[in-house]
Structure 1
Amino acid sequence: MKWIAMHVAAWPYLYLLGLVPALLALYLYAFRRKRQALAVFSGPELASRLLPGFSRTRRWVKTCCVLSAVGCLVLSLTQPQWGIDWQQVPRRGRDLIIMLDVSLSMMAEDVEPNRLERAKQSILPLIERLRQEGGHRLGLVAFAGRASLQCPLTLDYAFFLQRLREAGPETVTREGTLIGDAIEHMLSAFGTLEPEYTDIILITDGEDHNSLPLAAARIASLQQVSLYTVGVGDASRGALIPLPEATEDHTYVQYRGQAVRSRMQQSLLLEMAQLTGGAYVPAGTRDIELDRLYQDKIASKVRRDIDVDAREGLVHRYYWFVLAALMLLAIDMLVRERNLSSEGGAG
């Protein structure tokens, strides 16, 4: 076990150490009043006969014991810690699966730099939050005309980030957007999900090519899996979709000679979330606050033990101060201000 300087976990209790000088002042005041009262009642010679065996040293020993005991109790309240030891800490968490739309419509530039990159950037604060809490597993599914499992559920956030950076339209083998098929693929790709510990975050502009996403949402609902849908993109005017390999004649995606404007489909995403008991986040062209979604909707949910992690931890030492306080109070009770042998001899 390593040893380091003392650390206090509850430092505000240190203010209570002000009780020690306050008590000392009360003791001094009481001693003074007692001397004054005795001086009024009798002279010095009579006082020594009235109080045989009295010892100022013993009185100060008792006073110091009480004051030191109070100081030790206050220090115990601050939860003093020193020394480092290995501790077995269970990691508790949930399974979060990110479903990321990587279709061509996600390349629309109604948000900077485009919908897909904005979605990726929004995932980073969420990962940092999960990293700080520890114990949560992350999975990634990229989809367009076909879904592709990019990252199985893992505690390796570095691997998840690598797969997230690589996700793009080229990740999947078919163009288009089939949200319903992607949900069904997700439900099967991860095997038997534990719905009470699983959350699905779907990030998309909501455009779908007749894949029956509401039917897929009902299937997820039957399995008691909640969908949190995040709508990205302008829902009113929409935006043109840049071609990956633009030419002089065709810079944007066209249909029957007309440039296609992609609009975020709010009603679809809202209904999907409602069907599964999840929540809909209408991010639109604003920042996508996935960390806030986690805080408001997911963080308070029940967690399970995933594994046990060995970590270095500070060792609590408050009990030494409690023991010292009890010993000091015991000494105070045993020590008398008058010497009984002297008192008996005087009698």
Structure 2
Amino acid sequence: MFSNPWWLLLALPVLAVVAVYVYILRKRRRRALQFANLEVLDRVTPPENRWVRRLRHVPLAVLLVALLLMVVAAAGPQAERKVPRNKATVILVMDVSRSMEATDVAPSRIKAAQAAAKKFADELTEGINLGLISFAGTASSLVTPTPDHAATKAAVDKLQLADKTATGEGIFAAIQQIQTLNSVLGGQAGAPPARIVLLSDGKQTVPDDENDPRGAFTAARKAKEENIPVSTISFGTKTGTVDLDGDRVPVPVDDESLREIANLSGGTFFTASSLDELNKVYETLQQEIGYEMRKGDNSRPWIIAGTILAIIAVVGSLLVNQRVP
């Protein structure tokens, strides 16, 4: 793909030079045949001289290749490039139910989640609007989407655990935040791309059914309608437990429901059972969210290659032919 393909027509004069050069060589050879026996001449000519005769054509050939590369550069070759997004909206939705006290992830699920979330905020591309929502029995909008990622980091430090898990409410709250921001930015048509990143460790408990009007699966379908993918992170292990009123209560992660939320919304499902794994998940998301592929000018490598070959052609001609080609 070229931005100015008509410049490729300049390759025709270059090819014409090749044709003229070959014609001149053949004409010179035919003229020489009229006055000498080339077979005898080849036998009496030292081998090193024959190599020199052949090498004298190389500089011009290299120069012609350099010119062709320059022609391609002039035509404006295009290529897909990964560039930072100028605009996007990301809402972190974090589970703060009591199960996040489990210590199967050191030092605990919630502490590890906080550390990883802050690292994610630090490394997220500048200019992206980042918001934060926490949920337990209800959802709380802690930070409205803003390019000031420090605000999200400060709010992450202040997360407080509570009873129950209303996953659907967290997703609905995130959708509402994104819709509000989009209305300010001029409506859905001109809105930047948006993504919800949901981190949870357990199954929804409020309401009981994920397909309830306020359930997680219903919220995921709504996100799909709004073109807002929900990337889910199942954080923890199957052996996690917490101490509730003196009893050790198992709190295994619920991969199945979180995977279904991602599938229904068009997002991506991840699992993490340690802080290192969670950081890697966030790094992957940062690459997906913070960058986009755009077509852009790719003439630079062609220009560099053409310039290098042109220099080689000139130097080679001076060494072999004692003149510039």
Q: How has the CA–CA distance of structure 1 residues 33 and 126 changed in structure 2, closer, same or farther, with 3 Å as cutoff?
A: farther
SS of 1:167's partner is helix
Match for residue 260 of structure 2 among 268, 271, 277? 271
1:91 is displaced (CA, Å) by 5.6
Can you give the 5+ residue segments of structure 2 that lack an aligned partner in the other structure? 1-13, 38-58, 77-82, 183-187, 311-325
Change (3 A) 1:199 1:146: same
> Displacement of 1:164 after TM fit?
2.7
| Contact 2:202 2:251 (8 Å CA) reproduced | no
Q: Would you say 1:189 and 2:184 are equivalent positions?
A: no
Paired residue secondary structure (2:196): strand
3-state SS of 1:140 partner: strand
Paired residue type of 2:265: T
Q: How much is the aligned-residue C-alpha RMSD, in angstroms? A: 5.0
The 2-side partners of 1:301 and 1:119 are apart by 26
Cα distance in 2 for residues equivalent to 1:97 and 1:226:
11
**1:165 Cα shift?**
5.1
Gap change, CA 1:75 and 1:177, over 3 Å in 2: same
Larger radius of gyration: 1
Q: CA 1:165/1:212 → structure 2, altered by over 3 Å: closer, same or farther? A: farther
Contact kept, 8 Å, 2:121 with 2:152, in 1: the verdict is no
Match of 1:97 in 2: 91
- Indicate the residue corresponding to 2:109 in structure 1: 115
Separation of aligned partners in 2, 1:302 and 1:29: 49
Instruction: State how far apart, in whole Å, the 2-side matches of 1:36 and 1:137 are.
Output: 77
Given that 1:147 and 1:172 are in contact with CA atoms closer than 8 Å, whether structure 2 keeps it comes out as no
Cα deviation, residue 204, structure 1: 0.8
Q: Please report how far the alpha carbon of residue 232 of structure 1 lies from its aligned counterpart in structure 2 after TM superposition.
A: 0.6
Partners of 2:88 and 2:107 in 1: CA distance: 31
CA contact (8 A) 2:262 2:268 kept: yes
Matched, 1:231 2:234: yes
Following TM superposition, by how much is the alpha carbon of 1:121 offset from its aligned partner in structure 2, in angstroms? 5.0
Q: How far has the Cα of 1:279 moved from its partner?
A: 3.8
Contact 1:181 1:213 in 2 (8 A): no
Q: How does 1:171-320 map to 2 (within 5 A)?
A: 171-172=159-160, 175-192=163-180, 194=188, 197-212=193-208, 214=210, 215=212, 216=214, 217=216, 218-222=218-222, 224=225, 225-235=228-238, 237-240=239-242, 253-255=243-245, 257-285=246-274, 287-288=277-278, 289-292=281-284
Q: How does 1:57-136 map to 2 (within 5 A)?
A: 71-77=66-72, 94-123=88-117, 131=125, 136=128
- Residues 30 and 90 of structure 1: is their aligned pair in 2 closer, same or farther, counting only changes over 3 Å? same
The AA in structure 2 aligned to 1:263 is P
Give the share of equivalent positions with the same residue, in percent: 25
TM-score using structure 1 length: 0.51
The answer to whether the 8 Å contact 1:146/1:172 transfers is no
The size of the alignment, in residue pairs, is 240
**Separation in 1, partners of 2:156, 2:249:** 24
Find the aligned partners of 2:161 and 2:251 in 1 and give their Cα distance: 21
Go from structure 1 to structure 2 and tell me whether the alpha carbon gap of 1:290 and 1:269 turns closer, same or farther (over 3 Å shift).
same
1:276 Cα offset (Å): 3.3
Deviations 1:37-91 (A, max 9, x none): 24339xxxxxxxxxxxxxxxxxxxxxx9998665344345467x9xxxxxxx996
AA matched with 2:200: T
**Contact 1:146–1:173 at 8 Å: present in 2 too?**
no
Which residue of structure 2 aligns with residue 33 of structure 1?
29
- Secondary structure of 1:287 counterpart: helix
Does the 8 A contact of 1:180 with 1:212 survive in 2?
A: no
120-129 or 211-220, larger mean C-alpha shift: 120-129
Which structure 1 segments of 5+ residues have no match?
Answer: 1-18, 42-63, 82-88, 241-252, 304-312, 326-347
Deviations 1:224-257 (A, max 9, x none): 143322111112x2233xxxxxxxxxxxx323x3
